[in-house]
Amino acid sequence: MTGPSGRPEQAGGAMPNRRLRLGMVGGGRGAFIGAVHALAARMDNRFELVAGCLSSDPARARASAQDWFIAPDRTYDDFQTMAQAEAARADGIDAVAIVTPNDTHHAICRAFLDRKIDIVCDKPLTTTLDDALDLVAQVRRTGLVFVLTHTYSGFPMVRQARAMVAAGELGAIRLVHVEFLQDWLAAPLEDQGDKQALWRTDPQRAGPGGCIADIGTHALHLARYVTGLEVEAVAAQLRSFLPGRRLDDNAQLLMRLTGGAEGTLLASQVAHGNECGLRLRVYGERGGLAWDQERPNHLCWAPAGCAAQTLSRGDASLSAAARRATRLPRGLTEGYLEAFGNIYADAAGAILSRRQGGRPDLEDIGLPGVVDGAIGIAFVEAALRSQQDRGAWVEISLAAGRI
């Protein structure tokens, strides 16, 4: 079965006779990721954006809402009013996208969870582990859908890598190397008023982790998502290379993973020449895989004893999970926006399934959720403790089965 965009139908519930109504908090004019969410939500014609509190500045929130043709009576100055008013409407929102800086995620998530509204929240989940665990508890209590947008899990060739590991094609995993290298904070943009740099380098807004939380959690999730392994302990070196910068802009970690695997995680925002250099390499006893976010339509596969080969998005031989996430024939490139769209399409399926009385399992669907978010925050806290203890090994008390 194919959806309106031509891609295979997403996991979860059947098509309803209308689009799901989406609200958004954050994402006003000048913001980065909100517009990406709004586009991704529309991509498969499963959501329409009908309500919003799009900025912390009410005038900007109202002007931004007009850009998206959001009706004045569904344009809100603060998220508490929005949650209350939307929950009270017969045609209230089905789900909310939360695309604000990290320090606000917990309060905004609670406001909507408490009113039984499904959530798509951006990462990192929160700024403290207590807040993260509170959200896990609330999601479990309410049974609501909570999707965390670790975007890279939406790429077809990442889903292919995950399917190959799950099918045992690599055998037992020995090594996991993941890196997320960028260069955009190599200059002190926070001193030049750059909006995104300002809050990301401010511990009050970003939380206690800088680069480790901002992109290290993406790298961690990618490694966990593909391998199915948990990181049990880390030995970390974090630092800021720019004088006066209050949060780390570079991190390098050794990792011990479940099943005896070992690995490394590098995250940097000061590595000149790297734009969005997220790369994953996984080596098992029967073969190795490598994926590069900047060449996302390909996956390098090296079966033991053979020369490496390139698998291509759109190949007929790929897994059902990869084919389901594919929109265009091979050779026509897909990228970040389509991956985001895949997450929203699957989120729509999960929300519909829940509304029809099902209990969608995000792990089975291949969607990151609130537990993944809490593991990310536990990872950041462990890395920071290791750094304070001069790189000593620190165990991560929260692995998936233990939350």
Ligand X SMILES: NC(=O)c1ccc[n+]([C@@H]2O[C@H](COP(=O)([O-])OP(=O)(O)OC[C@H]3O[C@@H](n4cnc5c(N)ncnc54)[C@H](O)[C@@H]3O)[C@@H](O)[C@H]2O)c1
Q: Rounded to the nearest whole angstrom, what is the least distance from the CB of residue 104 to ligand X in the complex?
A: 5
Do the beta carbons of residue 53 and residue 107 sit within 8 Å? no
Binding pattern for the stretch 190-219 against ligand X, x by CB under 6 A and - elsewhere: -----xx--x--------------x-----
Least distance in Å: CB of 68 to ligand X? 13
Tokens at 373, concatenated: 């978010």
The Cα 364–Cα 275 span in angstroms is: 32
CA atoms within 13 A on the CB side of 241: 14
Question: Residue for token digits 């990442």?
Answer: 158
- Residue from 11, 22, 31, 147 binding ligand X (CB under 6 A): 31
- C-alpha closest to that of 381 among 199, 230, 212: 212
Using the minimum distance from each CB to ligand X, give the nearer residue, 19 or 105. 105
Question: Which residue reads 């403290």 in tokens?
Answer: 128
Count of residues binding ligand X (CB under 6 A)? 25
State the nearest-atom distance from the C-beta of 100 to ligand X, in Å.
4
Nearest-approach distance from CB 38 to ligand X, in angstroms:
12
Provide the 10 A C-beta neighbour count for residue 269. Answer: 27
**143: phi > 0 → left, psi -120 to 50 → alpha, else beta; which?**
left
163 sits in which H/E element: helix 156-166
**Facing residues of 49 across strands?**
22
Closest contact distance (angstroms) between CB of 11 and ligand X is: 20
CB neighbours of residue 303 within 10 Å = 13
Binding mask 127-166 for ligand X (x = CB under 6 A): ----------------------x-x---------------
Cβ closer to ligand X: 83 or 235?
83
Question: Which of these ranges, 7-15, 26-34, 233-241, 292-300, lies near ligand X under the rule CB under 6 A?
Answer: 26-34
CA pair distance 213, 206, nearest whole angstrom: 8
Which residues of 189-345 form beta strands (DSSP E)?
231-239, 250-257, 262-268, 277-284, 287-292, 298-303, 309-312
Q: CA–CA separation, 52 vs 336, rounded Å? A: 24
Considering only 27-35, 236-244, 261-269, 324-332, which stretch makes contact with ligand X by CB under 6 A?
A: 27-35
> For ligand X, which is the closer residue by CB, 38 or 318?
38
Nearest approach, Cβ of 98 to ligand X (angstroms)?
A: 8
Pick the binder of ligand X from 20, 25, 113, 125 (CB under 6 A): 25
Q: From the list 4, 6, 14, 32, which residue makes contact with ligand X (rule: CB under 6 A)?
A: 32
Nearer Cβ to ligand X, position 63 or 300?
63
Find the shortest distance in angstroms from Cβ 54 to ligand X. 6
Determine the Cα–Cα distance for residues 233 and 387; give it in Å rounded to an integer: 13
Task: Candidates 3, 7, 19, 55: give the one binding ligand X (CB under 6 A).
Answer: 55
Asked if 52 touches ligand X (CB under 6 A), the answer is no
DSSP 122-161: PSS--SSHHHHHHHHHHHHHHT--EEE--GGGGSHHHHHH
Determine which residue in the list 3, 101, 209, 360 makes contact with ligand X, applying CB under 6 A: 101
Binding residues vs ligand X (CB under 6 A): 25-28, 31-34, 53, 55-56, 79, 99-102, 104, 122-123, 149, 151, 195-196, 199, 214
